Amino acid sequence: MTTAQDLRRHLHSLDGRNYKAYKAVRGHYTFDQFTLFIDYVQGDPFAAPSRLRVRVPQTVARYPEETYENDSRRIGLENYLATAVAAAAETAVSRHGSGKSGLLAIDAPGQTMLPRSCLQVTPEFVEAQIAVGLPAQGRRVLGRSAAQMLCDDLPQLVAQSLLYASNDPQAIAQYTATAEDADFLRSQLKMRGLVAFIADGAILPRRSGVDERPLRGPNVIPWQGPAAFQTHVTLPNAGEVSGTGIPAGVTLIVGGGFHGKSTLLNALTHGVYNHKPGDGRELVVTVENGVKIRAEDGRSVSQVDISPFINNLPFGQQTQQFSSDNASGSTSQAANIMEALEVGTHLLLIDEDTAATNFMIRDRRMQQLVPKVQEPITPFIDRVRQLFSEHGVSTILVIGGSGDYFDVADQVIGLENYQPHDLTAAAQTIASQHPTGRSSEAPAPFGPVRLRVPLPRSLDARKGRHDTNVKTRGLHTIQFGTETIDLSAVAQLVDPSQTRAIAAALVWAKEKVVDGKRPLSAILRQIQQQIATHGLDSLSPYPGNDFAACRPHELAAALNRLRSLQTKPEQSTTSSA
């Protein structure tokens, strides 16, 4: 059995040697309260940090069983602990030496509580994956500093952040209860005929477009929903909660500019995830497969059937298997909708500010000037009800420029000074008193959603001498072989660790399940099953990946934006109902 003292002596013996000598310490070591696994050692002080795991048995950690008795509570606890480790790591060591020397860090979560590979709680142990910059001077080992870091500072970090007795029981209870209540609330939506819920008292505004923390100050107005949408739900921990239930169907969000329409839609867009205590959106939830849709000029499209929206293109170009290296605003938005339906969604979230105008509406005057026989686009206004009646897909739409949508809306929520009002009856009255005079341009029912089969040869991750060369840069970029996947328009990607997981999942799928026979939807199910059965880490053969869970929709979005992607039609079809 190799002990902490053995590790200390070994590190002392490496002092002054070439940095690569650190690789000799890989292995596992028994400490008083935990086992240390050194999985990967960086070859250079300026390279990616070394990776290690600390595993504390539950006989030492002593977390009460109720803190992890179901998936919801466990994920809440894991997110709390990852935050606690991150806080302890900031003060655990003093940085000195070259490159990343002295670094101790964990993949700390932001405002969302996602399953993460960096922290695992089981009935047997608590395990944290930590990035470490082993100390160096130039490219020489600082062995004594490393010994202090791993044998003294690290045990202190573990004692401060991974033991139940060292943490705040009330904060842990808040995290676990918040996660459990949000999941329970989301599970209630469908049976209540709802697609979203906003609790009274919720704080929706964020500090900025790059800071997801809640906005504070005297001008921040808590949500207080209209009486017509009032819904009461009894939650496992919070008890009875009141709020705004948004029914299935077509919902318009209207109001003047800067009165909170997009703020509300943004909160609903991120309601597919749970949020940590204090976020303000803890009980703002949306059906788990809701998808934000926008126009995306310039994106690539592979063999997508956009014919429900676009047909009869010039020169006989067909749209049942539409491909483009540079899609327009309207064709990209059509493709985004059809791809969401292909994966399986029951809710589309659309903001007119990021939509293609000619895709959303053609008013009476334009219909008279440019007759339908000359217009390939069937606007969304003429398909939105068919999506609900034929496929059970609801829509929440921020609209400020076209009252024509009053004719197709089931409910209308108006915002004035960030306060919501029920304007359904008023909108219906206006619609009856002022007919638009426009004609529906939907030539037929919406029809089935066609499945596609990705072709293995089109998922090529090779670059130069490397058979697999896949990297991520921040939240929105994946380098897949020689191709760059741009995810900047994928609104429900919220954590760079999700992007890393997506990149690994694409490689795993290429190697394991993309066979030219399985449709995309089946491939996504295989990936999700792999994660559910073997964990996020199983997507990669390399240790310490810092992955966070993502939905099938963001996985599909990345694959669909791979410019080398080639697909073929699947023989059968499906619908989202």
pLDDT tens digits along 402-414: 999 999 999 999 9
Q: Is residue 72 situated within a structural domain?
A: yes
Q: Is residue 106 situated within a structural domain?
A: yes
d(CA 213, CA 206): 6
Q: Is residue 262 situated within a structural domain?
A: no
Residue 419 shares a structural domain with residue 458: no
Specify the 3-state DSSP secondary structure of 45: coil
Shortest CA distance to 395 belongs to which of 75, 279, 405? 405
Residue 341 shares a structural domain with residue 475: no
- When the pLDDT of each residue in the chain is averaged and rounded to a whole number, the result is 95
Q: Is residue 260 situated within a structural domain?
A: no
Residue 576's pLDDT is what?
47
DSSP string covering 202-238: ----EEETTEEEEP-STT-------GGGEEEEEETTT
Residue 470 shares a structural domain with residue 357: no
Residue 455 shares a structural domain with residue 400: no
Residue 361 shares a structural domain with residue 456: no
d(CA 424, CA 249): 13
Residue 501 shares a structural domain with residue 411: no
Tell me the sheet residues that pair with 29: 36
Residue 496 shares a structural domain with residue 349: no
Q: Is residue 376 situated within a structural domain?
A: yes
DSSP string covering 171-205: HHHHHHHHHHHHHHHHHHTGGGTEEEEEETT----
d(CA 432, CA 133): 69
* Among candidate residues 143, 167, 191, the one where a domain is terminated: 167
Residue 50 shares a structural domain with residue 152: yes
* Among candidate residues 415, 449, 483, the one where a domain is terminated: 449
pLDDT tens for each residue of 126-170: 999 999 999 999 889 999 999 999 999 999 999 999 999 999 999
Q: Is residue 455 situated within a structural domain?
A: yes
Domain containing residue 61: 4-167
Contact 504/547 with Cβ under 8 angstroms? yes
- Confidence class for position 433, pLDDT limits 50, 70, 90: very high
Q: When comparing pLDDT for 64 and 99, which is higher?
A: 64
Q: Is residue 208 situated within a structural domain?
A: no
Name the token pair of 536.
Answer: 């996020």
Contact 418/352 with Cβ under 8 angstroms? no
Compute and round to an integer the Cα radius of gyration of the chain: 26
Q: Is residue 54 situated within a structural domain?
A: yes
d(CA 384, CA 388): 7
Q: How many domains does the chain have?
A: 3
Residue 552 shares a structural domain with residue 461: yes
Determine what percent of the chain is predicted with pLDDT higher than 90.
90
What is the reported pTM? Answer: 0.95
Name the token pair of 532.
Answer: 């559910």
Contact 501/536 with Cβ under 8 angstroms? yes
pLDDT tens for each residue of 410-432: 999 999 999 999 999 999 999 99
Residue 313 shares a structural domain with residue 439: yes
List, in order, residues 6 or more apart from 522 with CB less than 8 Å away: 513
Residue 8 shares a structural domain with residue 155: yes
Helix 329-343 / helix 520-534 crossing angle, nearest 10 deg: 50
Residue 75 shares a structural domain with residue 16: yes
d(CA 447, CA 460): 34
- Confidence class for position 577, pLDDT limits 50, 70, 90: very low
List, in order, residues 6 or more apart from 24 with CB less than 8 Å away: 10, 14
State the amino acid at position 74 in one-letter form: R
